[in-house]
Each structure stands twice: as C-alpha cells, then as structure tokens.
Structure 1
Amino acid sequence: MSTTSALRAATLVTLTALAGACQSTGEDSAAPVGSPTAAPSVTSAEPGPTTAEPPTAANTAAVCAEVDKLIIAKSREIAADSAAAARKQLTPEQINAQVKADLADLADDVRGQAAKAADPEIKALVTETAQKIDAGAKSASPVKWLSSTFVAIPQRLTRECRA
C-alpha cells in the first residue's frame, strides 16, 4: 500500500510541476538572453516568403508545442494509471512495469518530434529530452525518477524550446 501512496505522491508532484512548466502564458515571446537555444534574430517586419528563417521558427514552435502536449498527455495517463493501480492494489513490480512502459512510449513519441525539428539546436534539445525519458524508463525505480528527474524536463523545455 505504501508503494501506491508513493506513486500517487510522485504523480501529484509531477503533474503540479508540469502544470506550471508546460503551460505557456503567451508572455514569453523570446528565449532568455544568452540562452544557447535562442532563435536566430528574425524580425516580424521582414517579408516572409523570401526569408529562410521563418519556416524554421514556425517548425520550432510546432515541435516544441507538440512535445509539451505529449508530456502533459502522458503525465495525465500516468496519473490515471496510478489511481487505477491503487484500486487494483497492484504490486510494486506491476506499478514499475506500467510506469516504465508509459515512459518508454513517451520517449519514442518525443524522439519522433526530434526527427521533425528543422533547427539543429531544437533537434538536439528534444533528442536529449527523449534520452532522459529513456533513462527513466530503464530506471530501477521509475516512480522515484518521476518525482526527482522528470519534473525538471518540462521546466527546461519551457526555457529553451522556443522559436
């Protein structure tokens, strides 16, 4: 029973962090100054069709938004699974297997978005994110990994994965 309580707590921590980190307020229109993933300077006054950079920026925004959606959706799924695990009184091994499968699926989905990224820095960031999620899927204690490492991933993406 303590394992399902731990799963619930980890899921709650994860969802709370995600709610704050993944939701764009619409106010951050640029990456922080000096950020390694700051987009090339593009002014909105330039004509669009003759410039090569706006499609990359548009692609970056789409990729980043999709990664956010994937992480939020999978976090909700993990939360729902944890509630079901408590009702079913699953063993710690069953819970770990379920979380590992969810994380492996998420890593594959995020890796698919990395393949779509036109900006090499965004591609690298999203690929690294998939690798971190893979590490969680391979972790001996994926529930603990969720509450310690996973919660930092959306925060980093919020800071660095922007057009």
Structure 2
Amino acid sequence: MHRSSATALTLAVLAVLATGCSDDGSDTDAVPGTPTSAAGAPTGEATPDPVTSTATATTTPTAGTAANTAQVCRAVDQLIIDGSRQIAADSADATREELTPEQLNGKLKGRLSRLADDVREQARKAKDARIKKLVNETATKIENGAAAKSPASWMGSEFVEIPPRLTRDCHV
C-alpha cells in the first residue's frame, strides 16, 4: 500500500480519537435552572421559580428517558472510539502487509459497514426521538463512508466531524 495513504488515514483516525466523543460534562457542575456563561460559570441571574415556570416542567425528560439517553450516547461514543482504534490498527497492518489502496478500501468498507450497523442498533434502543434521529443520522453518515469511492478520503474529511457533533448534541 502507499505509505502516504496509510499515514493520512492513521492521522484522521488519531484526530477522531483525540477529539473523543463524550458528553461535554457541562451539566455535571451546574445547578439545574441556574443560567451559566459560555465558559460554564454561573451568571448570577435569578433561577426561575418552578411554580410559575410551567414550560420547563413539560419539556423535562423523564428519569427513565434521561437514563436511556445517557446509556445510548455512551454506547455510541464507545462504538466510535472502538471503531476508530480498529481502523487505525487496520491501517498499520495495511502498511506492514503493503496492501494496495483497493485492498485497504475494501477493509475500510467492511469495518465502516459493521460500525454503521452497530450504531443503528443503538438508535433502535433510544427512547428520546431527538437522540434516535441523531444516532440514525450518524449511522447513515457512516454508511455513506462505507459506500464512498475512497473510504480513506472520507475518513479524513467526514468521519472526523462525527465525534464533535456527538459531543455537542448527544445528551439529555
């Protein structure tokens, strides 16, 4: 295989691993209902009165849905991280074995197809419609990578965008 292709792929996968895909933790230190600045610090503004603020009561997810969302998001994060590690290992193997770009693309297509299936399985488990849609969209993006003419190029341009989106959007 061309070393430059394997190196580019490895760098793309390492970027995904470095970015990670976990809940940003922004809600772990904040008191619910307390406004925060962009940096996450309390703004000093008054907390809305729960008796007079009925809009928040109707949009708050149930404890079961919130727990399910956290579980699904963690599972998808782990699938992406594990898949990235496996792809990096495949890339290293391809360099050692001197695979052609076509052979590497074949390996990537299979790996990405399995990853898309696993992510879609998590979407089926999601109780929150917003999370179900997000995870299904993620699976579709990964399927598109598997179907790409050059999955290695897709990894460097599209796959690296998945973890930041999950970090930003996959939470209660």
Q: How far apart, in 1, do the equivalents of 2:19 and 2:56 lie?
A: 28
Deviation at 1:20, TM superposition (A): 1.9
In the alignment, is the contact (CA less than 8 A) between 2:21 and 2:164 conserved in 1? Answer: yes
Q: 5+ residue gaps in structure 2? A: 29-35, 37-54
Instruction: Report the equivalent of 2:154.
Output: 145
> How do residues 57-136 of structure 1 correspond to structure 2 at under 5 angstroms?
57-136=66-145
Partner of 1:16: 15
- 1:71-117 per-position Cα deviation (integer Å, ceiling 9, x unaligned): 00010000001111111111111100000000000000000000000
Tell me: CA distance 1:59–1:142, structure 2 relative to 1, closer, same or farther (3 Å).
same
Aligned partners of 1:18 and 1:151 also within 8 Å: no
Report SS of the residue matched to 1:140: coil
TM-aligned CA deviation for residue 23 of structure 1: 4.2
Structure 2-normalised TM-score? 0.77
Change (3 A) 1:52 1:61: closer
Kept in 1, the 8 Å contact 2:79–2:115? The answer is yes
Give the aligned length: 145
Structure 1: where are the runs of 5+ without partners? 34-39, 43-50
Structure number with greater Rg is 2
3-state SS, counterpart of residue 158 of structure 2: helix
Query: How many angstroms does 1:17 deviate by?
Result: 3.0
Q: What letter corresponds to residue 17 of structure 1 in structure 2? A: V
Distance in 1 of aligned mates of 2:103 and 2:126: 35
Aligned-pair Cα RMSD in Å: 2.2
For 1:29 and 1:94, locate their aligned partners in 2 and report how far apart those are by CA, in whole Å. Answer: 44
| TM-score for both structures, normalised by structure 1 | 0.81
CA distance in 2, matches of 1:124, 1:23: 18
Moved over 4 A (4+): none
**TM alignment of 1:19-38, pairs within 5 A:** 19-24=18-23, 27-29=25-27
